[in-house]
């Protein structure tokens, strides 16, 4: 038994693995709303990261673990890289940049249905020193086949050393080939997590994100971006029933009124949609209780950000 296995008492570390077994961390980076979370969820076969058509949905670095007989791929889904306008935005961009530094391979996801943006030129500059980078040209299903080579070349010119592949994360086209390219670039190594583990996030965190996902779906304009969620209680009342109490924070009283809605209609709709998603995730019945509170300008306040869990590791 290795010293590491003895230290952690992890029997899965000493299991039989092929001599060419590969493992490592893959930072999934890119602008907001290019399909990073959709791609990671596709590989994991379940929802670990929430998705929404709204930009800047992902706020934290989320870890997803894909274990195969020949490899263990540890995805780091990161917030969309954008020009920040508040402390929360600064936290999100710094989280993505740190993930690049921690990664064995960087998976840069772009939307090939649009030309490269000024922000993507900046991302390319960050990645010039990355040891291994793969460029995923996502949303190929939205581009005419005759236009693909020209679109691909525009992105390839930003980072010539990166291997690139067109894909569609929503329908899975090209994703298997992309995964093989990623695995081939990982270093030889053991498994760092048990085979059955999918993420390092606790159930409370994922439940809070599922509630926030519904806020992104149902609310409009600036309100969903001003939402933060904290799970206050998570108790098993019976073997088949979980009681969850969560607080939804917004920045202004007017946003609180919109979130609650006339006669509480909006909050009830949000709760019903979130409960359905949470029950699918937990595979148990859920009694969900939601509260709405105001924390003024929390996105601009470092102390409030820390209280709400936005802390750089």
Using a pLDDT cut of 90, give the percent of the chain over it: 80
In this prediction, residue 296 carries a pLDDT of 96
* Long-range contacts of the stretch 202-206 (C-beta < 8 A, 24+): 203/234, 203/281, 203/282, 204/231, 204/234, 205/231, 206/48, 206/281
pLDDT value, residue 13: 56
**Distance (Å, whole) CA 35 – CA 37:** 6
> CA angle at residue 278 from 87 to 252, to 5 degrees?
35
Task: Report the 10 Å Cβ neighbour count for 245.
Answer: 15
Query: DSSP assignment, residue 199?
Result: B
Token representation of residue 158? 């930003």
Edge-to-edge strands of the sheet including 22-29?
A: 62-68, 71-77, 22-29, 105-111, 133-138, 163-166
- Element (DSSP H or E) covering residue 233: strand 228-238
pLDDT at 24: 97
Looking at the chain, the number of H-run helices and the number of E-run strands are 10, 9
Considering the entire predicted model, what is its pTM?
Answer: 0.88
97 close to 125: Cβ distance less than 8 angstroms = no
Predicted confidence at residue 170, as pLDDT, reads: 94
Q: What integer pLDDT is reported at residue 251 of this predicted model?
A: 96
| pLDDT for 224 | 87
pLDDT per residue of the chain (313 residues) written in tens, 0 to 9: 334 333 333 444 556 889 999 999 999 999 999 999 999 999 999 888 988 888 778 888 899 999 999 999 999 999 999 999 899 999 999 999 999 998 999 999 999 999 999 999 999 999 988 889 999 999 999 999 899 999 999 999 999 999 999 999 999 999 999 999 999 999 999 999 999 999 998 999 999 999 999 999 999 888 989 999 999 999 998 888 999 999 999 999 999 999 999 999 999 999 999 999 999 999 999 999 999 999 999 999 999 999 998 877 5
* Predicted local confidence at residue 121, as pLDDT: 93
Ramachandran angles phi, psi of 279, nearest 5°: -65, -40
Can you list the domains of the chain with their CATH numbers?
3-185 (3.40.50.300), 203-307 (3.30.300.20)
Which residues, in sequence order, are CB contacts of 113 under 8 Å at separation 6+? 139, 142, 143, 151
Token duo for residue 4: 């590491």
| Model pLDDT, residue 212 | 95
Query: Vertex 48, ends 45 and 49: CA angle to 5°?
Result: 120
Report the pLDDT value the prediction gives residue 10, as an integer from 0 to 100. Answer: 47
Q: Dihedrals φ, ψ of 49, to 5°?
A: -110, 135
Distance CA 176, CA 157 (A): 24
**How much is the pLDDT for 15?**
63
Look at residues 45, 123, 124, 32 and name the one whose alpha carbon lies nearest to residue 78: 32
Tokens of 288: 């969900």
Distance CA 202, CA 213 (A): 17
């Amino acid at each position: 038994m290795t010293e590491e296995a003895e230290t952690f008492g992890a029997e899965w570390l000493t299991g039989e693995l092929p001599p060419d077994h590969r493992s490592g961390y893959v930072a999934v980076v890119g602008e907001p709303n290019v399909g990073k979370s959709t791609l990671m969820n596709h590989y994991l076969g379940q929802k670990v990261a929430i998705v929404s058509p709204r930009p800047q949905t992902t706020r934290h670095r989320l870890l997803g673990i894909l274990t195969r007989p020949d490899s263990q791929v540890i995805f780091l889904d990161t917030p969309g890289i954008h020009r920040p306008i508040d402390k929360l935005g600064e936290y999100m961009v710094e989280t993505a940049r740190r993930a690049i530094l921690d990664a064995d391979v960087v998976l840069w996801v772009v939307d090939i249905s649009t030309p490269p943006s000024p922000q993507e030129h900046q991302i390319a500059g960050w990645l010039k020193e990355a040891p291994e980078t793969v460029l995923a040209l996502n949303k190929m299903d939205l581009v005419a086949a005759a236009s693909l080579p020209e679109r691909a070349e525009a992105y390839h010119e930003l980072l010539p050393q990166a291997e690139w592949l067109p894909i569609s994360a929503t329908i899975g086209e090209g994703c298997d080939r992309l995964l093989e390219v990623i695995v081939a670039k990982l270093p030889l190594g053991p498994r760092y997590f048990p085979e059955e583990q999918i993420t390092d996030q606790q159930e409370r965190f994922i439940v809070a994100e599922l509630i926030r996902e519904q806020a992104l779906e149902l609310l409009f304009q600036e309100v969903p971006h001003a939402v933060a969620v904290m799970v206050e209680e998570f108790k098993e009342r019976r073997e088949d029933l979980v009681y969850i109490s969560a607080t939804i924070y917004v920045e202004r009283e007017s946003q609180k009124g919109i979130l609650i809605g006339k006669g509480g209609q909006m909050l009830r709709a949000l709760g019903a949609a979130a409960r359905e998603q949470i029950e699918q995730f937990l595979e148990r019945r859920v009694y969900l209780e939601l509260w709405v509170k105001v924390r003024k300008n929390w996105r601009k306040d470092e102390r409030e950000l820390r209280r709400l869990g936005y802390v750089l590791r």
